[in-house]
Amino acid sequence: IGNARKVLAQAEEIARERQPTVEVSTEVMTGTPAAVLREQAGDATELVVGSRGLGGFAGAVLGSVSMNVAGQVPVPVVVVRPRTAVAHGEIVVGLDGSPTCEPALAYAFGQAELRGSTLRAVYAWALPFALAAGFSCDFEALREAQQRVAEEQLASWRERYPRVKVIADVRCAHPVNALAAAGDRADLLVVGSHGRSAIGSIVLGSVSRGVLHHAHCTVTVVRAKDAPTPA
């Protein structure tokens, strides 16, 4: 208990030094870290955790606490990577054309406006089996169709956040690869999570999990019900 209080005191001192206008409170609790954080998240707006994993394709390991809270609490979970000296001025958000990623878009647009950052919306699509197998297909028509899907989903958000510069980044690639690559030039990467197990409980979706493993920047995982769609 004594060591825990010492750690909290140091953390509080750092927080007050960097953000003196922010109200800070600390509490020592007993229990498994992931379980305690999940329980406390019910009264929070956002949950922020660190990442002790290596990250990157050379060592795709993420701390167990991060993996056990991301996507499993009712609020956005921010997994913070070690800070770098370079600020990119860009936020990346994953886009898939479905309503389930709308909350992630709401969070990303809000952060982009708050920070004055450019928002890069990454939409990754896969080649149809016939084209991948070498059959003739109009690749350019397919690409244009996917571009339209991305632009249509972004349209209402562009209207709601006119001051945010938006880049629709449409790629023929696996979503995890596309998002992790875009994250290399971003300050924050936002992904949605709407995976469910066979018995209906919330689990971390495969794309969200892959991004958490491989991205080098800070990642926010937003549950499908965490934010409203634009009016």
In a domain, 12, yes or no: no
Question: Global pTM?
Answer: 0.83
- Number of domains present in the structure of the chain: 1
Task: Give φ, ψ of 43 to 5 degrees.
Answer: -105, 10
In a domain, 68, yes or no: yes
In a domain, 1, yes or no: no
In a domain, 126, yes or no: yes
In a domain, 11, yes or no: no
Beta strand 166-172 with 188-193 is unpaired
SS (H, E, C) 78-133: EEECCCCCCCCCEEEEEECCCHHHHHHHHHHHHHHHHHCCEEEEEEEECCCHHHHC
Domain that holds residue 146: 45-223
CATH number at residue 185: 3.40.50.12370
Secondary structure (3-state) at 189: strand
What confidence tens digit (pLDDT) does each residue in 70-118 have? Answer: 867 888 999 988 776 689 999 999 999 888 899 999 999 999 999 999 9
In a domain, 24, yes or no: no
In a domain, 219, yes or no: yes
Mean pLDDT of all residues in 18-44: 87
